[in-house]
């Protein structure tokens, strides 16, 4: 309880998201008619995204690649698997993202210590984030609830459409059990919506990440789907 009291969020970067060519296919246009769009078209739309670092801050490769994956790889994954049908508001928010901010977590009052986590907020409007992504760089899955509480802190919960939690390592049975206890996992249909029991319009998606020779591999593990795309979506370690 008291461990949250001395933790604060500090913005370290801001990025603007715009289409390179607004006259061609964009992610925003795709969200209007997803059922008639094929995988080739949606990939073309994601490659039309332009990410502009407004403050010209050099961010860690993991953060850059995670942002790229969220806006491109995860957007495609939700469409390929049909998950967007169960989490339509979150998927549409991804396709309409106009701004991204990156925050670091610090603990302490007079002497600040940076924690092994970053929060990425996605905005469709400037008022409040529609999606918050947590990058947990530790190997301790017990930090999940601590970092989740920080992501939910000082945001308009009525505007929030989803939480994305990125972690490394192998998920433990205890970790999956905790996820099941706080989401709609008990219902055979609603489990794919993966809504928080106390915030029924906010979806939770958990993604495992690994780094191998400069290449980041992202693997969504929750909610668990019966089938996933055969192609593993990989984001190369490259700068914008």
pLDDT, tens digit, for every residue of 8-26?
A: 999 999 999 999 999 999 9
3 state DSSP class of 61: helix
Host H or E run for residue 102: strand 99-107
Residue 235 pLDDT greater than 50, yes or no: no
> What is this structure's pTM?
0.90
Q: Look at the alpha carbons of 37, 195, 164, 50 in this order and tell me if their dihedral is positive or negative.
A: positive
Residue 5, pLDDT score? 63
Of the pLDDT bands very low, low, confident and very high (cuts 50, 70, 90), residue 237 is very low
pLDDT of 1 strictly over 60: no
Helix axis angle, 144-152 to 173-182, nearest 10° = 30
For residues 48 and 21, the answer to whether their CB atoms sit within 8 Å is yes
The pLDDT value given to residue 58: 84
Residue 186: CB atoms within 10 A of its CB come to: 10
pLDDT at position 187: 87
Q: Which residue has the higher pLDDT, 55 or 130?
A: 130
The mean per-residue pLDDT over the stretch 61-67 comes to 96
Across all residues in the chain, what is the average pLDDT?
Answer: 90
End-to-end CA distance of the chain: 39
Cβ atoms of residues 51 and 13 within 8 Å: no
Encode pLDDT of 113-148 as tens digits: 989 999 999 999 988 999 999 999 998 899 999 999
Please state the rounded mean pLDDT for residues 47-62.
89
The residues near 55 (Cβ < 8 Å, ≥ 6 apart) are 13, 14
CA angle (129 as vertex; 7, 157 as ends), nearest 5: 75
Res 229 pLDDT > 80: no
């Amino acid at each position: 309880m008291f461990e949250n009291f001395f933790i604060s969020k500090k913005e370290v970067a801001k990025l603007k998201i715009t289409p390179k060519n607004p006259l061609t296919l964009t992610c925003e246009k795709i969200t209007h008619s997803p059922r008639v769009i094929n995988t080739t078209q949606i990939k073309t739309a994601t490659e039309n995204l332009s990410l502009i670092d407004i403050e010209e801050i050099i961010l860690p490769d993991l953060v850059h690649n995670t942002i790229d994956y969220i806006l491109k790889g995860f957007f495609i994954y939700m469409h390929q698997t049909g998950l967007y049908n169960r989490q339509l508001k979150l998927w549409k928010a991804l396709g309409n993202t106009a701004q991204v901010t990156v925050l670091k977590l610090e603990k302490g009052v007079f002497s600040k210590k940076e924690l092994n986590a970053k929060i990425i907020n996605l905005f469709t409007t400037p008022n409040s984030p529609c999606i918050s992504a947590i990058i947990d760089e530790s190997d301790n899955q017990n930090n999940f609830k601590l970092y989740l509480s920080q992501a939910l802190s000082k945001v308009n919960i009525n505007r929030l459409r989803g939480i994305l939690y990125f972690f490394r390592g192998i998920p433990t049975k205890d970790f999956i059990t905790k996820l099941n206890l706080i989401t709609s996992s008990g219902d055979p249909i609603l489990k794919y919506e993966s809504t928080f029991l106390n915030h029924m319009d906010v979806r939770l998606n958990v993604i495992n990440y690994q780094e191998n020779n400069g290449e980041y591999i992202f693997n969504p593990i929750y909610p668990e789907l019966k089938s996933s795309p055969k192609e593993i979506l990989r984001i190369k370690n490259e700068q914008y």
